[in-house]
Amino acid sequence: MKTTIYEDPDECKFIWNKLWPVKGFFDLWQVRSCFHDTYSRPLSFHVVEDNNKAVGFLALCWNEEEEKYLQFPGETWRGKTWLEQNRIIAGTPEIFDRLIDSVPGPLHLRYLNGNSLKGVSDLIRTDEMGYIFLPGQYGYSFENYQQSFTGKFRKKLRADLRKFEEKNIRFRFNRFEDIEHMLQMNRDCFGENSFFSDLRFHHSFLKLAGFLEKFGMLRITTVLIDGAVAAIDMGALWQKSYTLLAGGTNREFPGVAKLINLHHMEWACRQKLELVDFLCGDFNWKERFHLTPIPLYELCLEKQRTCLEFREASAACA
């Protein structure tokens, strides 16, 4: 076997499109390049070959600010990346070890997809939970989904939503100008913890929205209550999946998040989508609304060590 590290952007794009499996929205090169074009972090794509056949792939970039390697494209805010469903492509633990050993400095990967880590789970720590809604579990019936709640929960939910039903509720869709309003509401809600506080992320996200609109993948949902904007969500449609990427709510309408989230699930049932990805972070509602938790994983090497040393350290931490 041999390991080669590629740094030329054109070569890295070619390798990504050749080796990276496109199984979801976050696997698209165009999606990640929206962020790479803004952050411009130096690329470091590691490929393991066996008899001239690629058998392992680790797509990294160098974060000069934190002096560590991250999953490409390395979009960060306060030490956290945002893109999910990251991967380490390695068919065996030996290939995995070769990829890790080829990284010449500190490495921090988050939101790793567990399907790509079979046989090497002893090197990986549990990260946050992702949450998805599976309409097929309820026969694509929103009524069946509602019936999965306890009577007490349904009663409380109806009471929470009744205050909106007494007002003039209207939905509008795919008004591109609403995105800036959504980003401002997000910043108002989360303050400096909002990714959109970083102008680089802000510009990257707008570039992503432009790409999605161009190819008919963008869905913007805006809730108007008595004529005022109460909530806005932005999502991406890819094949039979729907990914909620960001949202914002008006503080003058507490509880409106329930209204817009239930709308997404009802719409997904009507469209017979395979899944709706609400991304990671619980915010105290996702499990209560019977979303399916999907574990994501993390790998963190504070300094370059051999795989044996890392296994020993991981065992000690456990």
From first to last of the 318 residues of the chain, give the pLDDT tens digit.
Answer: 999 999 999 999 999 999 999 999 999 999 999 999 999 999 999 999 999 999 999 999 999 999 999 999 999 988 889 999 999 999 888 999 999 999 999 999 999 998 766 656 566 888 999 999 999 999 999 999 999 999 999 999 999 998 888 899 999 999 999 999 999 999 998 888 899 999 999 999 999 999 999 999 999 999 999 999 999 999 999 999 999 999 999 999 999 999 999 999 999 999 999 999 999 987 789 999 999 999 999 999 886 444 444 444 444 433
Structure tokens, 80: 């956290």
What does the alpha-carbon distance between residue 74 and residue 304 come to, in Å, rounded to a whole number?
19
Peptide bond into 73 cis (omega under 30): yes
**Whole-number Å distance between alpha carbons of 177 and 169:** 20
Cα→Cα distances 241→82, 254, 276, Å: 19, 29, 6
214-225 confidence digits (pLDDT tens): 999 999 999 999
CA angle 281, 282, 287 (to 5 degrees): 140
Contact, 9 vs 45, CB < 8 A?
no
User: Which class does domain 2-129+295-317 fall in?
Assistant: alpha beta
Taking a C-beta distance cutoff of 8 angstroms, is the pair 281, 117 a contact?
A: no
Q: Cα separation of 171 and 164, whole Å? A: 13
The structural domains of the chain, with segments of one domain joined by +, span: 2-129+295-317, 135-273
Q: Could you tell me if 122 and 307 are in contact, meaning their C-beta atoms sit under 8 angstroms apart?
A: no
Architecture of domain 135-273 in this structure: 3-Layer(aba) Sandwich (3.40)
d(CA 99, CA 130): 26
The whole-number pLDDT of residue 193 equals: 87
- Bond before 135 cis per omega within 30 degrees: no
Let me know: does 205 contact 75? Beta carbons within 8 Å.
Answer: no
Question: Are 2-129+295-317 and 135-273 in the same CATH fold?
Answer: yes
> How far from each other are the two terminal CA atoms of the chain, in whole angstroms?
32
